[in-house]
Structure 1
Amino acid sequence: MQRLVDHALAVTKESVKAVTYESVNNVVRIINGVSALLLALLPGKANMLEGIQGWELRPTFRGPRLPRWMENGVSSFNHFIHELSVDSDTSPDYSSEEEDSDRYEYPPSPASHCSRASEAYNRHQMDWFQRMQSLKEQIIHRATDRRRGVVEDVHLAIEICIEAVFDFFHKAAHLLLSPSEAFEALVSLFSSHGSGIEQDHDPFTDAAISTATRGGDGPAPAERSTNLHQSLNTDARTCQDVITELGYPYEAIHVITSDGYIILLERIPRRDSRKAVFLQHGVLDSSMGWVSNGVVGSPAFAAYDQGYDVFLGNFRGLVSREHVNKNISSREYWRYSINEHGTEDVPAMIEKIHEVKCAELKLSKPDSEEEIDDYQPYKLCAISHSLGGAAMIMYVVTQKIQEKPHRLSRLILLSPAGFHDDSNIVFSTVEFMLVLVAPILSLFVPAFYIPTRFFRMLVNKLARDLHNLPAVGGLVQTLMGYVVGGDSSNWVGVLGLPHYNMNDMPGVSFRVALHLAQIKRTRRFRMFDYGASTNIEVYGSPEPLDLAECYGTIDIPVDLVAGQKDKVIRPTMVRRHYKLMKGAGVNVSYNEFEYAHLDFTFSHREELLSYVMSRLLLVDPNHKPQRVARSKKKEQIAAASRD
């Protein structure tokens, strides 16, 4: 009778699983099919999707081939190199657990001083504990898969629920059909409580010890707890993980700005190198963007391979909210604009680089105070993207105005921000709304970010689903392209990058967004407008400092790069930087590539990478700069400001 009931429960369980799985898969296919239909009706989808490699739009429940920079976190070449060490079984198997449960072997309970009834009780408890531990281990193994999405998690949750429900009915039937064993279990339970044996022997403790000490049946419970803590994440790798996994050295430097923000300066160190490069990301990005293409496609690794000491900057604004004041409120933390990026974050990081390099190379400053104090036998170049480019320009200009050394030898600006009046209607509408409702909205929205770990995890997993459902991903990609005026960047792929995870995620302060809106509205590259009265205190005039009018103070070569398909910062806006710098006498160059906005960092572009490296190599690390007296430098800055 017991065997008949077991077979009936097993058949019923498999039937429920099959029906449930097929129902979920049919819903997913319908969603993907409707997305494919909508995508076919939308105009201009070819241009929107041309930047994505290997994207498939067939409404099938099969994941597309990922862009090569998204395959296992490295480029296609790196995937070829490491293919022997990468587990090829990345797709979860949602087949029945019945075959796995048949293979479970439970060791006998440890020796006990109890009666036979107590041994039977311990055996049942051991069986239950081992079954739950085995199921838990499978859950953890599947949930820690980096390629999991929400749909896959739904499958897993359904499987867990079905297993738990039928396991309950199986044990209930077993007790009803075997009353003698149930009676023995009850007797042993009461006898153990009455005799105090539990002080010397605890079946649960024995079970835990047995699980921890068994040779090959799984890790210790403590290890499982650690894995379970990370089980909800899809890919929580940090920039350090990516760098070290590829065999490069890594160093983390925590920098404290003058206003108390703690920012992370990451490094791929060459301590004896006299040439260094500083890479600064843009908005809603982090240092991860410079290493996401793997060995053969990332500017950071390419510079290191050319002998550079590589420093990767991170702006304030990560959701971790690191500050010297541990009790700082969210409103106070996010109270900054682009001004603070250019006058606090960048100066703090570059001064730290100078301090580190001087200590490692054992350099000394000039003896005379009358001479400029930025003499240095090492050379530091900067590569910046988008908002990072605007911040670097602001940094150089403000440092020169304040007669402080900027310590840079060259600027390479990839699609730099600063001018934004040539944009689409969506950006214009957002700019108008931000400026109009800023006094009210700033009271309720200090920043634009995802505040909780759960929702950050959910966004990360949904991004994975956009890859597994090709038509849905294509639809999102197309709609995102419409929002940004037709930019063909791989917006869906970027959401799946490791730095968009549950532990941390870049955010944008409200004042940064408002600052960009002010720049767009005034059509001038200016510092933040606090209002006439506050502007007088900060800038010494009712109007904010116009940075473009001070381009004459830039005393280093500048290379501007624009993207012909970039609809976020159009080539016309980058050319405006070029014309103003050229008119101010800056040694500036301009080049265009057939790229979209995110292609400068998140896509493997050999032509662009070669160009950037060629500009870096123009700087001679052994050339000693001429020392200029302070009085002469003051005259030069004053003349440039008058011009």
Structure 2
Amino acid sequence: MTNLAGLILLSLTAASLGTSPHPLVNKSTPQIIAYYGYPAEVHLVTTDDGYILELHRIPHGIKEAQNSTRPRPPILLQHCLLCSSAEFVMNTPDKALAYLLADSGYDVWMGNVRGNTYSKNHVSLSPRQKEFWQFSWAEMGYYDLPAFIDYILSKTQAEDLYYVGFSMGTTIFWAMMNDRPEYNQKVRFMVGLGPVAYVGNAKGPLARASPRVAMIESLAKFFGKYEFLSFGFLMDKILSFACDERLFTSALCRNILFKMTGANREQLNEEFLPVLLSNTPAGTSIWTVTHYFQEMISGNFQKYDYGENLNLEKYNSKYPPKYNLSKVEVPVALFSSENDWLAAPKDVEQLRHELPNVVYHQVVADPMFTHLDFVWAKDADQLVYKYVLKILSVF
């Protein structure tokens, strides 16, 4: 029996025995926020190329009245590859970053880039069309992130905002500043959690798959499959049962997770595991993943490689242009870890060296801290977030 088939069978058995999952399983980001008594808002933003994206907002903390005159600076939280806004709220309010920021006086906004669970609409294209999925994180940096920033500043009438990116949320930030450097004036300060630009030293299953990037793209084209890892309602329900900490099948969920991102059992919040896995993966395009694969092979931080002919058409060059990190003028704080398979220490060091305005860099004290621990760890509040709040207060 395969792992997946076994997971399905065991989860259905658990369901038939009446096992109750965590109350937040299969709840949307706004529903999770509301569950804890915080105000939740949903905003729709249309990009210049027609994608309709969903922004989630916690306008103020739980103890603060909506009509308070206290100024609340806006802050945008941007998720990782295959993630969504849910990454920042899937823990208790004393632990999750979004609530901590809201209770510290910030107006919290959480973006959802094109193609994930919340952003599958377009003014003219359908997700059933391949044209909808012909994007990578390069387009997220050029279109999605500027659209978020402009909308938030217009809505709040603020001159600039704070930005916290996790993993791909940092990648698209660097890409935006390369292509649209005017946005340096719209961001007051940037925090990078598990920051990713170079990925030549990444390890784990994704890194091992990177040499097969051409085959992956060819198979996707042959089978007409352009979306990557969006499980949908049925699989989310299955995972909500099978990954419940009270069932022995939860060990399988942990092992699958550890094989993808590295093991740190001590920091895994097993109570929230079914919640985490019913929200993640949230889906993206094949090109978004293969863009990272291309960089793992080349060792460069560069635009998407379409092949020589299309590169000449798009870039007037046989090779994709490299991103110029010196264009990131915003002051930056980086938080990295020694056991991060995807934001490897050597790659983070190269990033830090090339960014012109890194004002703070902290390596997480826990030597076993992994990539997803930046948003999922039980003690992320003490190991990371308290320092994030402190550095934000300075700027």
Length-normalised TM-score, structure 1:
0.53
Match in the other structure for 1:460: 240
SS at match of 2:123: coil
2:367 is the counterpart of 1:591: no
Match in the other structure for 1:507: 283
The 1:150–1:263 alpha-carbon spacing in structure 2 relative to 1, beyond 3 Å, is same
* Residue 475 of structure 1: how far off its partner (Å): 4.8
2:229 is the counterpart of 1:449: yes
Match in the other structure for 1:640: none
Higher strand share: 2
Question: Among residues 335, 341, 366, which one is paired with 1:561 in the alignment?
Answer: 335
- Report if aligned partners of 1:250, 1:267 keep a CA contact under 8 Å in 2: yes
Amino acid at match of 1:553: K
2:124 is the counterpart of 1:325: yes
2:247 is the counterpart of 1:429: no
Match in the other structure for 1:280: 78
CA distance in 1, matches of 2:234, 2:104: 41
Question: Among residues 420, 427, 432, which one is paired with 2:199 in the alignment?
Answer: 420
SS at match of 2:394: coil
CA distance in 1, matches of 2:194, 2:185: 22
* Residue 598 of structure 1: how far off its partner (Å): 1.4
Amino acid at match of 2:278: Y
SS at match of 1:567: coil
> 5 Å matches for 1:180-329?
235-270=25-60, 273=71, 275-319=73-117, 321-325=120-124, 327=126, 329=128
Amino acid at match of 1:324: V
Match in the other structure for 1:351: 150
**What per-residue deviation string (whole Å, max 9, x for no partner) do you get for residues 213-253 of structure 1?**
xxxxxxxxxxxxxxxxxx9x982322112222222222211
> 5 Å matches for 1:532-551?
532-547=308-323, 550-551=324-325
> 5 Å matches for 1:38-437?
149-155=11-17, 235-270=25-60, 273=71, 275-319=73-117, 321-325=120-124, 327=126, 329-358=128-157, 376=159, 379-400=160-181, 403=182, 407-424=186-203, 426-437=205-216
- Report if aligned partners of 1:578, 1:589 keep a CA contact under 8 Å in 2: no
The 1:597–1:505 alpha-carbon spacing in structure 2 relative to 1, beyond 3 Å, is closer
**What per-residue deviation string (whole Å, max 9, x for no partner) do you get for residues 95-147 of structure 1?**
xxxxxxxxxxxxxxxxxxxxxxxxxxxxxxxxxxxxxxxxxxxxxxxxxxxxx
Percentage identity across aligned positions?
23
The 1:482–1:313 alpha-carbon spacing in structure 2 relative to 1, beyond 3 Å, is closer
CA distance in 2, matches of 1:240, 1:520: 35
SS at match of 2:34: helix
- Report if aligned partners of 1:236, 1:498 keep a CA contact under 8 Å in 2: no
Match in the other structure for 2:299: 523
Aligned pairs, number: 370
Match in the other structure for 1:78: none
> 5 Å matches for 1:621-640?
none
CA distance in 2, matches of 1:353, 1:267: 10
Query: Unpaired runs of 5+ in structure 1?
Result: 1-30, 32-147, 158-230, 362-375, 620-643
Match in the other structure for 1:474: 251
**What per-residue deviation string (whole Å, max 9, x for no partner) do you get for residues 170-222 of structure 1?**
xxxxxxxxxxxxxxxxxxxxxxxxxxxxxxxxxxxxxxxxxxxxxxxxxxxxx
* Residue 512 of structure 1: how far off its partner (Å): 0.8
* Residue 569 of structure 1: how far off its partner (Å): 2.1
- Report if aligned partners of 2:240, 2:277 keep a CA contact under 8 Å in 1: no
Amino acid at match of 2:52: I
Match in the other structure for 1:578: 352
Which is worse superposed, 446-455 or 562-571? 446-455
Question: Among residues 189, 213, 217, which one is paired with 1:438 in the alignment?
Answer: 217
Higher relative contact order (CA 8 A, sep 6+): 2
Query: Unpaired runs of 5+ in structure 2?
Result: 4-9, 61-65
* Residue 579 of structure 1: how far off its partner (Å): 1.4
CA distance in 2, matches of 1:479, 1:356: 41
CA distance in 2, matches of 1:412, 1:264: 22
Length-normalised TM-score, structure 2:
0.84
* Residue 485 of structure 1: how far off its partner (Å): 5.1
Amino acid at match of 2:331: P
Higher helix share: 1
The 1:274–1:527 alpha-carbon spacing in structure 2 relative to 1, beyond 3 Å, is same
The 1:479–1:437 alpha-carbon spacing in structure 2 relative to 1, beyond 3 Å, is closer
CA RMSD of aligned residues (A): 3.0
Amino acid at match of 1:395: M
The 1:506–1:494 alpha-carbon spacing in structure 2 relative to 1, beyond 3 Å, is farther
- Report if aligned partners of 1:237, 1:498 keep a CA contact under 8 Å in 2: no
SS at match of 1:449: strand
SS at match of 2:17: helix
Amino acid at match of 1:474: A
CA distance in 1, matches of 2:18, 2:34: 32
- Report if aligned partners of 1:569, 1:597 keep a CA contact under 8 Å in 2: yes
Which is worse superposed, 605-614 or 404-413? 404-413
CA distance in 2, matches of 1:435, 1:493: 39
- Report if aligned partners of 2:90, 2:272 keep a CA contact under 8 Å in 1: no
CA distance in 1, matches of 2:198, 2:155: 34
Match in the other structure for 1:18: none
- Report if aligned partners of 1:485, 1:568 keep a CA contact under 8 Å in 2: no
CA distance in 1, matches of 2:28, 2:257: 26
The 1:258–1:494 alpha-carbon spacing in structure 2 relative to 1, beyond 3 Å, is farther
CA distance in 2, matches of 1:517, 1:253: 32
Match in the other structure for 1:34: none
* Residue 311 of structure 1: how far off its partner (Å): 0.8
